[in-house]
A and B are shown apart, each in its own frame.
Chain A
Amino acid sequence: MADENQGELTARLTPILDRYEGRRGVLVSLLQDVQAEFGFLEEKVMSTVAEALKLPLSHLYGVTSFYSQFYFKPRGKHIVRVCTGTACHIRGAPAIQARLEDELGICAGETTEDLVFTLETVNCVGCCALAPVVTVNDRVLNRREQRKLSGWIREQRAP
Chain B
Amino acid sequence: MSKQITLNIDEQTVTVPEGTTILEAAGMAEIEIPRLCYFEGLPPSGTCRLCLVEIEGQERLAVSCTQRVKEGMVVHTRTERVSEARRFVLELIWSTHPGDCTTCEKSGACDLQRYTYEYDVDKARYPMYVPEGSPGTHDDPLIERNLSLCILCGRCIRVCREQGQGILDFMQRGMATVVTTSLDKPLLESGCDFCGSCIAVCPVGCLVERNRKLRGREWELEPKETRCGLCSLGCDLVIDVAHGRIVRTRPGKDGYLCVRGKFGWDFLVSEDRLSQPLVRDGDAFRECSWDEALNTVAQHLAKIREARGPDTVGGVIGGHVSNEAIYLFGKLFRAGVGTNNVDSAAGLAGANVAAQVLDAFGNLRPLSSAADLERAKTILSVGPELGESYPRARLAIKRAVGKGAKLIVVDPSESELARLATIHLKPKAGTEVVVLEGVIRTLIDEGLHDTEFLSSCEGSSEGTMSVGSYDASLTGIADAEVQEAAKLFAKGRAVIALSDLREETVARALALLMLTGRSKHGLLALFPMANPWGAAMLIRGDAIPETAGLSAQQMLDKDSPIAALYVVTADPVGSFGGKDGVKEKLSSLEFLVVQDLFLTKTAQLADVVLPLNGFLEEEGTVFGAGGKLLTMTAAAPARHPPLWQVFSKLSERLDHAMGYRSIREIRTKVKELISEGKEGPTYRFPSLTDKGDTRAKGLPPFSRFSLPETSWSARSQISTLTPAQEATLDSNPANTEEVAK
Query: A and B from one assembly?
Result: yes
* Interface 9-residue window, one of A56-64, A93-101, A119-127: A56-64
Q: How far is the CB of B417 from chain A (nearest CB, A)?
A: 14
Cα distance A72–B184 in the bound complex, in angstroms: 12
Residues of B within 8 Å of A137, CB to CB, are none
Contacts A46-B182, A56-B161, A56-B165 aside, 14 further interface pairs with beta carbons under 8 A come to A56-B166, A57-B167, A57-B182, A57-B191, A58-B166, A58-B168, A58-B169, A58-B181, A59-B169, A60-B182, A61-B169, A62-B169, A65-B173, A66-B172
Chain B interface, number of residues (Cβ within 8 angstroms)? 16
12 inter-chain pairs at a CB distance below 8 angstroms, sorted by A residue, are A43-B183, A46-B182, A56-B161, A56-B165, A56-B166, A57-B167, A58-B181, A58-B190, A61-B182, A62-B169, A65-B172, A66-B173
Residues of B within 8 Å of A58, CB to CB, are 166-169, 181-182, 190
Residues of B within 8 Å of A66, CB to CB, are 170, 172-173
Task: Flag if A62 contacts B166 (CB, 8 Å).
Answer: no
Q: Is B171 an interface residue (CB 8 A)?
A: yes
Q: Is A54 an interface residue (CB 8 A)?
A: yes
Q: How far is the CB of B267 from chain A (nearest CB, A)?
A: 31
**Which of B161, B168, B171, B190 contacts A65, CB < 8 Å?**
B171
Cα distance A66–B190 in the bound complex, in angstroms: 19
Q: Is B419 an interface residue (CB 8 A)?
A: yes
Cα distance A56–B190 in the bound complex, in angstroms: 11
Residues of B bordering A, CB below 8 Å: 161, 165-173, 181-183, 190-191, 419
Most B Cβ at <10 Å: residue of A46, A56, A65, A72: A65
Q: How far is the CB of B716 from chain A (nearest CB, A)?
A: 33
Cα distance A86–B740 in the bound complex, in angstroms: 52
Cα distance A72–B185 in the bound complex, in angstroms: 14
Q: How far is the CB of B424 from chain A (nearest CB, A)?
A: 13
Q: How far is the CB of A61 from chain B (nearest CB, A)?
A: 4
Which residues in chain A, 47-79, are within 8 Å of chain B measured between CB atoms?
A: 54, 56-62, 65-66, 72
Q: How far is the CB of B182 from chain A (nearest CB, A)?
A: 4
Most A Cβ at <10 Å: residue of B161, B168, B182, B419: B182
Q: How far is the CB of A120 from chain B (nearest CB, A)?
A: 15
Task: Flag if A56 contacts B167 (CB, 8 Å).
Answer: yes
> Nearest CB to that of A57 among chain B residues?
B182
**Which of B165, B171, B173 contacts A61, CB < 8 Å?**
B171
Q: How far is the CB of B158 from chain A (nearest CB, A)?
A: 12
Q: How far is the CB of A101 from chain B (nearest CB, A)?
A: 17
Residues of A within 8 Å of B170, CB to CB, are 62, 66
Cα distance A72–B183 in the bound complex, in angstroms: 9
> Nearest CB to that of B166 among chain A residues?
A56
Cα distance A58–B168 in the bound complex, in angstroms: 6
Q: How far is the CB of B722 from chain A (nearest CB, A)?
A: 26
Residues of B within 8 Å of A46, CB to CB, are 182
Residues of B within 8 Å of A43, CB to CB, are 183
Chain A interface, number of residues (Cβ within 8 angstroms)? 13
> Nearest CB to that of A47 among chain B residues?
B182
Cα distance A65–B169 in the bound complex, in angstroms: 10
Q: How far is the CB of B161 from chain A (nearest CB, A)?
A: 7
Q: How far is the CB of B570 from chain A (nearest CB, A)?
A: 40
Most A Cβ at <10 Å: residue of B169, B170, B171, B172: B169
> Nearest CB to that of A46 among chain B residues?
B182
The 8 closest A-B pairs by CB, nearest first: A62-B169, A56-B166, A61-B182, A58-B169, A65-B171, A57-B182, A66-B173, A58-B167
Given the known interface contacts A56-B161, A66-B172, the answer about A61 and B166 at a Cβ–Cβ threshold of 8 Å is no
Q: How far is the CB of B504 from chain A (nearest CB, A)?
A: 34
Cα distance A96–B190 in the bound complex, in angstroms: 41
Cα distance A43–B165 in the bound complex, in angstroms: 18
Residues of B within 8 Å of A65, CB to CB, are 171-173
Residues of A within 8 Å of B167, CB to CB, are 56-58
Residues of B within 8 Å of A60, CB to CB, are 182
Residues of B within 8 Å of A72, CB to CB, are 183
> Nearest CB to that of A66 among chain B residues?
B173
Q: How far is the CB of B216 from chain A (nearest CB, A)?
A: 33
> Nearest CB to that of A51 among chain B residues?
B419
Q: How far is the CB of A49 from chain B (nearest CB, A)?
A: 12
Cα distance A59–B166 in the bound complex, in angstroms: 8
Q: How far is the CB of B181 from chain A (nearest CB, A)?
A: 6
Residues of A within 8 Å of B168, CB to CB, are 58
Cα distance A54–B416 in the bound complex, in angstroms: 11
Residues of B within 8 Å of A54, CB to CB, are 419
Q: How far is the CB of A50 from chain B (nearest CB, A)?
A: 9
Task: Flag if A62 contacts B183 (CB, 8 Å).
Answer: no
Cα distance A66–B191 in the bound complex, in angstroms: 22
> Nearest CB to that of A58 among chain B residues?
B169
Q: How far is the CB of A62 from chain B (nearest CB, A)?
A: 3
Residues of A within 8 Å of B182, CB to CB, are 46, 57-58, 60-61
> Nearest CB to that of B181 among chain A residues?
A58
Residues of A within 8 Å of B191, CB to CB, are 57
Q: How far is the CB of A123 from chain B (nearest CB, A)?
A: 12
Cα distance A46–B419 in the bound complex, in angstroms: 18
Q: How far is the CB of B28 from chain A (nearest CB, A)?
A: 34
Interface string of A26-62 (1 = CB under 8 A from B): 0000000000000000010010000000101111111
Cα distance A57–B171 in the bound complex, in angstroms: 12
**Which of A56, A59, A61 contacts B183, CB < 8 Å?**
A61
Cα distance A46–B173 in the bound complex, in angstroms: 20
Residues of B within 8 Å of A56, CB to CB, are 161, 165-167, 169
Residues of B within 8 Å of A57, CB to CB, are 167, 182, 190-191
> Nearest CB to that of A61 among chain B residues?
B182
Cα distance A57–B165 in the bound complex, in angstroms: 10
Cα distance A104–B165 in the bound complex, in angstroms: 42
> Nearest CB to that of B185 among chain A residues?
A43
Q: How far is the CB of B162 from chain A (nearest CB, A)?
A: 12
Cα distance A60–B419 in the bound complex, in angstroms: 18
Most B Cβ at <10 Å: residue of A56, A58, A59, A65: A58
Residues of A within 8 Å of B166, CB to CB, are 56, 58-59
Cα distance A62–B157 in the bound complex, in angstroms: 11
> Nearest CB to that of A59 among chain B residues?
B169
Q: How far is the CB of B243 from chain A (nearest CB, A)?
A: 38
Residues of A within 8 Å of B172, CB to CB, are 65-66
Q: How far is the CB of A7 from chain B (nearest CB, A)?
A: 17
Q: How far is the CB of A42 from chain B (nearest CB, A)?
A: 11
Residues of A within 8 Å of B190, CB to CB, are 57-58
Cα distance A72–B182 in the bound complex, in angstroms: 11
Cα distance A46–B181 in the bound complex, in angstroms: 13
Residues of A within 8 Å of B171, CB to CB, are 61-62, 65
Q: How far is the CB of B156 from chain A (nearest CB, A)?
A: 11
Q: How far is the CB of A15 from chain B (nearest CB, A)?
A: 24
Q: How far is the CB of B226 from chain A (nearest CB, A)?
A: 33
Cα distance A1–B168 in the bound complex, in angstroms: 26
> Nearest CB to that of A60 among chain B residues?
B182
> Nearest CB to that of B420 among chain A residues?
A54
Which residues in chain A, 101-120, are within 8 Å of chain B measured between CB atoms?
A: none
Residues of A within 8 Å of B165, CB to CB, are 56
